[in-house]
Amino acid sequence: MPKEEQIVTEGTVTQVLPGTMFRVELPGSRNVLAHISGKMRKRFIRLTTGDRVKLQMSPYDIDKARIVYRLG
């Protein structure tokens, strides 16, 4: 069986939480809980409130996401 495709979207970091977790606001006033991908952690990419980010979400659980890129 083929694997389900990831949903890729953009959002804005609204809150920095402990343990490299973040609250991210998506277009349409929707909030998700997101964590940093391993490559961002390895390269010591820092995120602060107000940063625009690219997210990957599973079609099965759209309340959680993985941050894969910082847009600025």
pTM of the model: 0.89
| Long-range pairs of 26-35 with CB within 8 A, sequence gap ≥ 24 | 26/55, 32/57, 32/62, 32/63, 32/64, 32/65, 33/63, 33/64, 33/65, 34/64, 34/65, 34/66, 34/67, 35/65, 35/66, 35/67
- List, for residues 4-63, the tens digit of each pLDDT value: 889 999 999 999 999 999 999 999 889 999 999 999 999 999 999 999 999 999 999 999
